[in-house]
Structure 1
């Protein structure tokens, strides 16, 4: 029997989709081991999969990393991206590699198919020639906006739209080279040093390209429009939509839930579950901006921190199941994590976006390019700017029409079926 190893870095936004994939594969009869941070041990076991922890520096608590004073002192954008890449993802490679080798050794003679999300680079050493056992097949799962370099686009992390003209492609080549050698040059050198220490010969590919370029198949959790059209996209890359939502059965709804059902218009605002240390960045300005509007504003904080200045037309909760809330939502104001914006688009909900950290800079530019959102291009929008953007999205039909078009694109794809079909095809080759 072929063993399936699902691997995820110890970052919740990377782990959560892989947990869902693992649960589905278990339900379809696969023998599944999940390799990730020990903080997710109980969640993994709840899926019916076998849990294995990564080793050493790879086994961290992400919230502690995110709150590192050195990281917070850096400006959002390329500088903070460089810190995250070096201190969260690349320093995890040795511990991910050793743990993966342990799991592969435990499999003995069994064939192994590995599903590794974008941020789990622990399979790259053996894929690039380091001593050890290579999985019999490797499937990359794209949980971030597509990161691979292209002649048609500026590099991931710069938040620039594509340019297919002759001049634009010259710009793209120049910017991609600068990203590899200057902006993220230190991270690339760290990656090369880590691989050399693990016994990899030769010069490695760019670390942001490698999880995609080295996989046998790469399945991107999105629709192609959110990754731009790329004439040089490798043939083994496929867009598979998004994972299905938990139906929300049994979820505890707030006492004021009837207000949502009765409201003429509902605007939801959230800062997600990571960039919510300061609710004055987006939630509080949004509440101020819409205090006099004929809408019900629902703020999902993701934290126990107090929200200041809550107006009469607003309702606040730490958590609300978005799979239940979005069908009643006319507009989402968000800082724009990739998973969250895709969830909104899958429901046909247009957005106002205001986020620059982590993957948000890139994600928000891509969503705005679809015509389904206004991107304010800042982490700290003013109430006036928020109100103007909300008025535009609610009054101009194009935003909702574009969101509806993308909803249809998502509805046409079944990510879990594609993953299972891909797994079975690869298993037939390894049997």
Structure 2
């Protein structure tokens, strides 16, 4: 039995896949201490792990930001990475010092793990970086993370990518890099070595990306420690009381499922409202999840719409013809696992990257905005419903997800490292 620390920032989309890893580690006989915010203490203990609380400044999720483009990356790094760093690093190092620790698994935004990975290997446990976001690694074959640009093909695209990567590292995010360097020096005594902060997982003992290669841009310069395991949280949530309108999903009309997730759902005029308006006169049934917010916060529902605060994805998605989303990474994988084509409209945080990959993979349409017009959603849904190539592409990725090694594959690699 190994003693393992699992680390996550206190956000549903970060904690959920890491809890999937923790549950399976415990089932395979390992001891798990789970470091995250107090909001998730009960969920951690229910999974069979020991709860470790994050320190001040890291124990609560930051407010979401409406910034887009490079400003979204700057804000995201400050809010998710730099500001919580001390509240992550001090309890992590205290837990490592308190008793023997065989490995640390941390999701990619957890800065304390990046600091730990830079310590001499003989003085630290193995660090496993877990990619819960679209792959952040810089590459000559891809545009920089955050721009939402497809990699392109041929020498001109590679030249464009090289220029953009230089610009982002040396101009657009130069000050952000400086702040990261200062925080690493302050907390861990780590001196800058010229590496870009989004590339820290190159120094981990294993970089476990939670997707399949079919949903990620090829990188000829990918590091040797990168492995694709597929999504950790498979099939979505199932069970629980179903809404009284559930029997309306009888297959008589195509079902369009729209949600803004559980984080970016404070303003339903961004995506849910335009979807309801755009599809009000269409021969479809629109199903809305409010992401646990009160239904009274939703816009008025047209006659062809049904709503619930929470819906069991595992049982709903097999009934769905089109998934309309702002691009959360977990939701995209749930849809593709079920072969459901996607209309995606997201332009904050990491969402432009997920949206760009949906279009690149052919699994859906990227509306390239977080506030689409009703007619744009209507046209995209009609196109996806009428063109079977989108569903076929989503099913192709779904088959790759089904064949991917998942949590057990990750644990096999971890156990090999420990041996």
Q: Does 1:290 align with 2:302?
A: no
Deviation (angstroms), 1:245: 3.3
SS at match of 2:249: helix
Gaps of 5+ in 2: none
SS at match of 1:57: coil
SS at match of 1:6: strand
Deviation (angstroms), 1:404: 1.2
Give 4+ residue runs of structure 1 displaced > 6 Å after superposition.
none
Q: Does 1:320 align with 2:311?
A: yes
**Taking structure 1 as the reference length, what is the TM-score of the superposition?**
0.92
Aligned partner of 2:77 among 85, 89, 96: 85
Aligned partner of 2:106 among 98, 116, 119: 116
Given that residues 155 and 176 in structure 1 are in contact (C-alpha distance below 8 angstroms), is that contact kept between their aligned partners in structure 2?
yes
The aligned residue for residue 196 of structure 2 is 206
1:16-415 superposed matches below 5 A: 16-60=16-60, 62=61, 65-67=62-64, 71-72=65-66, 75-107=67-99, 110-129=100-119, 134-198=123-187, 199-203=189-193, 205-210=195-200, 212-245=201-234, 248=237, 250-302=239-291, 303-304=293-294, 305-415=296-406
**Taking structure 2 as the reference length, what is the TM-score of the superposition?**
0.95
Task: Provide, for residues 136-155 of structure 1, a one-character-per-residue CA deviation record: whole Å limited to 9, x for no partner.
Answer: 21111110000000000001
Task: Provide, for residues 304-340 of structure 1, a one-character-per-residue CA deviation record: whole Å limited to 9, x for no partner.
Answer: 1432231111101111111110000011111111111
Deviation (angstroms), 1:94: 2.2
Task: Provide, for residues 406-431 of structure 1, a one-character-per-residue CA deviation record: whole Å limited to 9, x for no partner.
Answer: 11111111311112211211221xxx
C-alpha spacing 1:267/1:146, structure 2 compared with 1 (3 Å): same
Deviation (angstroms), 1:355: 1.0
C-alpha separation in 2, matches of 1:332 and 1:246: 15
SS at match of 1:40: helix
Deviating more after overlay: 417-426 vs 161-170: 161-170
Given that residues 7 and 36 in structure 2 are in contact (C-alpha distance below 8 angstroms), is that contact kept between their aligned partners in structure 1?
yes
Gaps of 5+ in 1: none
The aligned residue for residue 426 of structure 1 is 417
SS at match of 1:122: helix
C-alpha spacing 1:150/1:25, structure 2 compared with 1 (3 Å): same
C-alpha separation in 2, matches of 1:126 and 1:337: 28
C-alpha spacing 1:270/1:129, structure 2 compared with 1 (3 Å): same
C-alpha separation in 2, matches of 1:10 and 1:420: 23
Deviation (angstroms), 1:202: 4.0
Given that residues 235 and 313 in structure 2 are in contact (C-alpha distance below 8 angstroms), is that contact kept between their aligned partners in structure 1?
no
Q: Does 1:14 align with 2:14?
A: yes
C-alpha spacing 1:47/1:204, structure 2 compared with 1 (3 Å): farther
Q: When the two structures are aligned, how many residues end up with a matched partner?
A: 416
**RMSD over aligned Cα atoms:** 1.8
Given that residues 112 and 135 in structure 1 are in contact (C-alpha distance below 8 angstroms), is that contact kept between their aligned partners in structure 2?
no
C-alpha separation in 2, matches of 1:88 and 1:416: 25
